[in-house]
Every structure is written in C-alpha cells, then in structure tokens.
C-alpha cells in the first residue's frame, strides 16, 4: 500500500499534482474550501474551473475537511498561493505531525516579512520536514501527461530523494537539489520577469526585447541569490532559466498574460481581474523590490516593473530607462585584462 498524500489547495497546480499521483496509484485526498465545488468535482471527476477536460482518477478524493485530509498523510502538498501560506498553515498546524513532510508548490515571497515559503513554514512549524517542488511545469500540461522535468529541493538529502521517488513518473522527471534558497528565489522572481516579458509583448516589441529581458532578468535573480547564500548553478537549472523560459514564452503563463494586458493599456487590477486566477508575480514584484533594497542588490528590471505596477510609471519610459542606463560590462567579474 502506497503512502497517503494530502493536498492542501485545489487550484490548477494542486489538481494537476493530484492527477499525477493518482495515476501512480497513491491514495490522494485534496482539500478545497468550497463545499459545493468539492461535491461537484467528486461527482463529475473534473475540476472545470481550473483544468476543464481532464479526468481526475477515482483514487483522488476531494474533501472540505482539512483535518481529515491531513490525518494519516505521509506527504502534505502545499498548493496555495504564497500570500495565503501563513494563514493556511495557522489553520492546519494543530493537525500536522512531525513525521509528515510538507512539499511546497507556491512560487513567491511573502509581502510583509519578505520570507520565502521555507522560512514561513519554519516559523509556523519549526519541526516539520520540508521540500519545494519547482521548475518549468504548467499544470495544464502535467495534467495531460506531457513530458515535464522539475527539481525538488530540501536541506536534507533523504527528504529530497523520498519526494523524488513519490513524484517521479515516465512523464514527470524529478531531479534533486540541496539549494532551497536558490530554487525558491528562482521560482518566485521569474514570475516578475515574466510580467515584464508580457508587457513587452503587449507593447508590440519583438523577440530581441524579450530575449534581453529574460537574459538580464536571470542575471538579476542570480545576483540577489548569491547575496542571500544560494548556489549560482541553481539559476542555470530547471528552477532558474528553465522556469524563466517557460513562464516568459507560454500563453499558459498567467504572469505573461497579465503583462500583455498591462502593456496593452489595462491597469494592474484590470489585468488580474481578466485572468481570473492568482497572478503570483504581481505581489512578488513588491516583495522582490523590497528585498533588493534590503540586501543592497542592483535589480533594475525589477525596479522598473515595480514602478509600472505600483507607482504608475509609463511602460515605454521604463523601457527607455533600462536601455539608457550607464554603460557597463556584461559580466563584471570575468578574470583577466584587456
């Protein structure tokens, strides 16, 4: 008998993971706040709101009782937006035991504390085992068995390898990493760069512009990561440049779609409302901007995106600001002399 998996949150990604693990034969229970939606999904075997047209296996049970979902689960998948993680953990912590492992799917940074999700979990549940699953993985594709590769990071090797075994399938390849900081930062801040890529598309700019944004964006993320103790190699991996590529180029990406609408003239709130789901990069842009200031790290793309979203800066002027910055070397620390 395989270990029971409890999934806290029933959005697109939580549902896709429930489908993935259900197909692997795991007994899965997924918690949703909405009783009516629970009943509907259990009856139709389809989450029409987030993943229409994809059938949920019969061994996945949808429930409205969070205590019941957590009870006896060996693995707890945290599938709620970053800004809801702390509230959700406060609700669930009295039911969570030390021998359970939390696997976080959220990609963001908490606004008030500037904490990564691992730091929130450590503060709320200091004894719990923790891992993060990240990488270029649209829920819409994972749910349809489209080949995908991701990374699971944990401070403890045995936890990462256990979660690797739980999630690995012929269509879902899982690598391991000890770099929780790098994997979390890459997954979170690439959403902000994807907003910028979408804004560029909405303005009618081309591939050259987007390629420059993506490349210089990963440089900024790596610069902050290095200051915070992350491994540089992580930003060349699946949770870094891999996730950045897919989020900046795909129409599955809510962040890119929201950016396109902003580039076309919508306000931030109008763009979010039109998407109809959480756009993690919107709030993460505020966290990333504040974190860069706190750590004294230069992140000009992040600054300009923050200015567009929260200070009503004109998007075309923001592009000019980036293009007309002081001249500099591409790589500041290359050894040798000209």
> What per-residue confidence (pLDDT) applies to 322?
83
What is the dihedral angle through the alpha carbons of 91, 95, 96, 100, rounded to the nearest 10 degrees?
-140
Residue 321 has pLDDT above 90, yes or no: no
Residues 11 and 127 reside in one and the same domain: yes
The CA–CA distances, whole Å, from 78 to 82, 131, 254 equal 10, 10, 20
φ, ψ dihedrals at 8, nearest 5°: -100, 100
Residue 332 domain flag: no
Residues 165 and 294 reside in one and the same domain: no
Residue keyed to tokens 């795909």: 250
> What per-residue confidence (pLDDT) applies to 325?
72
Residues 116 and 32 reside in one and the same domain: yes
> What per-residue confidence (pLDDT) applies to 295?
97
| CATH number of 249's domain | 1.10.1040.10
Q: Is the dihedral of CA 292, 294, 298, 301 positive or negative?
A: positive
> What per-residue confidence (pLDDT) applies to 323?
80
Q: What is the mean pLDDT of residues 16-23?
A: 98
Which residues are marked as active site? 190
Residue 61 domain flag: yes
Residue 334 domain flag: no
Could you tell me the pTM of the whole model?
A: 0.94
Question: Tokens in use for 199?
Answer: 């804004």
Residues 100 and 18 reside in one and the same domain: yes
Angle between helices 180-202 and 117-124 (to 10 degrees): 130
Residues 91 and 201 reside in one and the same domain: no
Residues 163 and 247 reside in one and the same domain: no
| CATH number of 61's domain | 3.40.50.720
> What per-residue confidence (pLDDT) applies to 329?
75
The CA–CA distances, whole Å, from 198 to 28, 206, 237, 313 equal 36, 11, 22, 16
What DSSP element (H or E) covers 217?
helix 207-228
Q: What is the mean pLDDT of residues 145-158?
A: 98
Count structural domains, the chain: 2
Q: pLDDT tens digit string along 240-296?
A: 999 999 999 999 999 999 999 999 999 999 999 999 889 999 999 999 999 999 999
Residues 113 and 211 reside in one and the same domain: no
The mean predicted confidence, pLDDT, of the chain is 95
Tell which of 178, 210, 239 closes a domain. 178
> What per-residue confidence (pLDDT) applies to 332?
64
Residue 336 domain flag: no
Question: Tokens in use for 283?
Answer: 């709030």
Tell which of 178, 193, 222 closes a domain. 178
Residues 269 and 289 reside in one and the same domain: yes
Q: pLDDT tens digit string along 196-214?
A: 999 999 999 999 999 999 9
Q: Among candidates 151, 167, 10, which has minimal Cα distance to 74?
A: 167
> What per-residue confidence (pLDDT) applies to 1?
75
Tell which of 178, 195, 228 closes a domain. 178
Q: pLDDT tens digit string along 31-87?
A: 999 999 999 999 999 999 999 999 999 999 999 999 999 999 999 999 999 999 999
Residues 32 and 124 reside in one and the same domain: yes
**Boundaries of domain holding 90:** 5-178
Residues 165 and 195 reside in one and the same domain: no
Percent of the chain with pLDDT over 90: 91
Q: What is the mean pLDDT of residues 182-189?
A: 98
């Amino acid at each position: 008998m395989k270990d029971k998996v409890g999934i806290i949150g029933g959005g697109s990604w939580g549902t896709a993971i429930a489908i993935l693990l259900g197909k692997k034969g795991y007994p899965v229970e997924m918690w949703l706040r909405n009783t009516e939606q629970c009943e509907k999904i259990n009856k139709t075997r389809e989450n029409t709101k987030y993943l229409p047209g994809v059938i949920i296996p019969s061994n996945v049970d949808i429930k409205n009782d969070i205590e019941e979902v957590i009870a006896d689960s060996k693995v707890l998948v945290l599938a709620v937006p970053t800004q809801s993680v702390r509230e959700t953990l406060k609700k669930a912590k009295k039911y969570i035991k030390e021998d359970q492992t939390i696997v976080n799917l959220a990609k963001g940074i908490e606004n008030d504390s500037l904490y990564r999700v691992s730091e929130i979990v450590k503060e709320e549940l200091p004894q719990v085992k923790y891992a993060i699953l990240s990488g270029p993985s649209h829920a819409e594709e994972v749910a349809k068995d489209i080949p995908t590769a991701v990374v699971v990071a944990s401070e403890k090797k045995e936890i990462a390898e256990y979660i690797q075994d739980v999630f690995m399938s012929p269509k879902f390849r899982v690598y391991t990493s000890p770099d929780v900081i790098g994997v979390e930062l890459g997954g979170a801040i690439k959403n902000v760069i994807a907003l910028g890529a979408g804004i560029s598309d909405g303005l009618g700019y081309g591939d050259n512009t987007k390629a420059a944004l993506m490349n210089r964006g990963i440089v900024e993320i790596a610069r902050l990561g290095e200051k915070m103790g992350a491994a540089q190699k992580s930003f060349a991996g699946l949770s870094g440049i891999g996730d950045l590529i897919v989020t900046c180029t795909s129409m599955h990406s809510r962040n890119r779609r929201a950016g396109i609408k902003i580039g076309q003239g919508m306000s931030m709130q109008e763009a979010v409302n039109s998407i109809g789901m959480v756009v993690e990069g919107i709030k993460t842009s505020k966290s990333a901007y504040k974190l860069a200031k706190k750590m004294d790290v230069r992140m000009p793309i992040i600054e300009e995106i923050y200015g567009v979203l929260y200070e009503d800066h004109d998007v075309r002027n923001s592009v000019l600001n980036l293009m007309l910055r002081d001249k500099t070397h591409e790589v500041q620390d290359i050894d040798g002399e000209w």
